[in-house]
Amino acid sequence: MIFLGIESSCDETAVALYEGDISSGDGKLIAEQVASQIETHARFGGVVPEVASREHLAALPPMVESLMQDAGFTFDQIDQIAVTAGPGLMGALLVGTSYARALGMVHHIPVMPIHHMEGHLLAPGIDKLLPEFPFITLLVSGGHTMLVRVDGIGSYSIVGQTLDDAAGECFDKSARLLGLPYPGGPEIARLAQQGDAKRFTLPRPMLQKDNLHFSFSGLKTAVMYAVKNAGGIDSFDAQAISDMAAAIESAICEVLVKKSIKACIQEDAPRLVIAGGVAANRSLREQLFEMAARKQIEVHLPDPKHCTDNAAMIAYAAFQRARFGVHIPDVWDAQPRWSLAL
C-alpha cells in the first residue's frame, strides 16, 4: 500500500509518501518534504496561529504536487491519505484536514485521521524496526511532555505527564529570559556545549515525587530569579549565558532521563522510545543511553530529522494502523485537544 502523509498541526508544513506491505510489515519511506515557518514566526517570539494557517494554505498544495512529481507517482497509485487531525492549532489542522479530504474526494482515496503524538511515538519505526511491545515512550514535543505505555498499535496509556509547562516550553521561555531568539531549545543546546552547568544551581522539579509526572514552570521561574540575582541579563557576558544555558539543559535532561527510566522499571517494560522535537537534543540522548545501559533498558530513537514535526511519521502511523486493522471512525474532524489514550 502507498500512503500519502500530510502534517500541518503547528509551524511545519510536511508531506510524505510511504510504501508498506500489510502482510509482512516491511515498509520504506519513498519521499518527504518539510517547509518550516521558523523564520516567519521568529520575529514574534513564538507561533502566531493565524499566520501559521495562512502559511500552510499557501505551501501545502504545491508541496504535494512537487512530492508526487519528484517521486514519479500519480494519485491513482495512492491507497490512502493520512492527515494529522490533532492535537494542534485549530486553524492549521483545518487547512491540512480540509485539503486531505478534498484530495480524497476528487481522487476517490480514503482519508485516515492520525493523532499527531501517535505519529511521534511510532517515528522510530520509519527507519528501523519498532521495539517489541510493551515499551515506554517519552514524548517531548512542543507543549507536550508525557510518558506513554505502548501495548500495541492504538493501545496507549499515559503513565505520566506535565502538570504545567512542558519541557519544550521551558526551553523556549528560559531562552527568552536570556535574550535568545526563538525557538529556544536549539539555541540553549548550542550554547550549552561551551557552558559550565555547575556555575548556576537550578532545581529538578518533581524528581523526588513518588509519581511519573513533570512540572517545568518552577524551573523557568528559578531561571528568572537566578538571572535577576546575578544582576540581570545585561550583566551577563557570553560565557555566563552559555553557563546558564548548560544549567538549564542539565536540569531538564536529568528530570526527563530519571523519570523515563523510572517509568520503564515501574511498568516492567525494559524498552524506551524517545520522540518529539526535544528528542533531538544531544545531551538528552547521551544521558539516556548512559543511564539506560546501567539499568539494562533498550533505548530506541528516531532519526534526528524525524524527531521534529514531519509527515513521514503520519504516513507510517497510518500504515501500522492499516496493518493491525485498528478501527478508524466514519465521522471525525480536526481536534485541537485530543487525548492520546484512544
Name the binding residues for Fe cation.
Answer: 116, 120, 309
As annotated, the binding site includes 116, 120, 139-143, 172, 185, 281, 309
Calpha distance 183→41 (Å, rounded): 9
Cβ atoms of 124 and 273 within 8 Å: the answer is: yes
As annotated, the binding site for substrate includes 139-143, 172, 185, 281
**Paired residues of 46 in beta bridges:** none
Q: Which amino acid is at 73?
A: F
292 dihedral zone (left: phi>0; alpha: psi -120 to 50; beta): alpha
- With CA atoms as reference, report the closest residue to 33 among 71, 1, 3, 2: 71
What secondary structure, in 3-state letters, does the chain show?
A: CEEEEEECCCCEEEEEEEEECCCCCCEEEEEEEEEECHHHHHCCCCCCHHHHHHHHHHHHHHHHHHHHHHHCCCHHHCCEEEEEEECCCHHHHHHHHHHHHHHHHHHCCCEEEEEHHHHHHHHHHHCCCCCCCCEEEEEEECCEEEEEEEEECCEEEEEEEECCCCHHHHHHHHHHHCCCCCCHHHHHHHHHCCCCCCCCCCCCCCCCCCCCCECCHHHHHHHHHHHHHCCCHHHCCHHHHHHHHHHHHHHHHHHHHHHHHHHHHHCCCCEEEEECHHHHCHHHHHHHHHHHHHCCCEEECCCHHHCCCCCHHHHHHHHHHHHHCCCCCCCCCCCCCCCCCC
Q: Give me 15's grid cell.
A: 508531506
